[in-house]
Amino acid sequence: MSVITCFFRNEVPDVFGRYINELLAHNHFWLEHDHKYIQMLFPMDEGDKFNRHAPLVTDEDRMAFSDHIDLRNRHLQALDMMLEYYGMARNGEMVYVTGELAPQSHEWLKPNNHNQLRISRIIRSLSLLGNHNIAASFCRACVTEAEKHGTVSSKTMDFWYHALRQ
């Protein structure tokens, strides 16, 4: 069984000794200021210069997440945590904004904010690991809100759409 699958089952910690249940319990301050959790909660199939220790999604991982609802649900727990931080929520496969968002109170809407890279990663990871429809809904919600405020570049939004490829 892969490191990613075992991590999502809370059987092994990340390289920093943290189990997924610990990461899912963190508050908004921690989510903003720690930069070493996102690669484990939202693994991708491509390397990342920010955390060279992060495992990459393999075909074995994709199969495991496809076959096991518990893995997909754990992934969605991580998404729900991030959605709350971003001012959004999820009902089934639908992602929506929960109130009025503004760049002053929602970091990801500020120009060139590092959370925009995280959003790309989240969309890609969801798409890879069996939650493509939710990834597409999250992408649409982000783009709609970004266009409303005009603070996110079109290049970033293109990255979000590109992350949906399967």
Q: How far apart are CA 15 and CA 7, in angstroms?
A: 10
* pLDDT score of 154: 95
Q: What is the pLDDT of residues 2-20, one digit of tens each?
A: 999 999 999 999 999 999 9
The pTM of the full predicted model, rounded to 2 decimals, is 0.94
Per-residue model confidence (pLDDT) at position 152: 96
Q: Tell me what the pLDDT averaged over the chain comes to.
A: 93
A 10 A CB-CB count for 74 gives: 20
Containing structural domain, residue 28: 3-162
pLDDT of residue 65 exceeding 80 = yes
Tell me the per-residue pLDDT of 106-141, one tens digit each, with 9 for 90 and over: 999 999 999 999 999 999 999 999 999 999 999 999
Number of domains the chain contains: 1
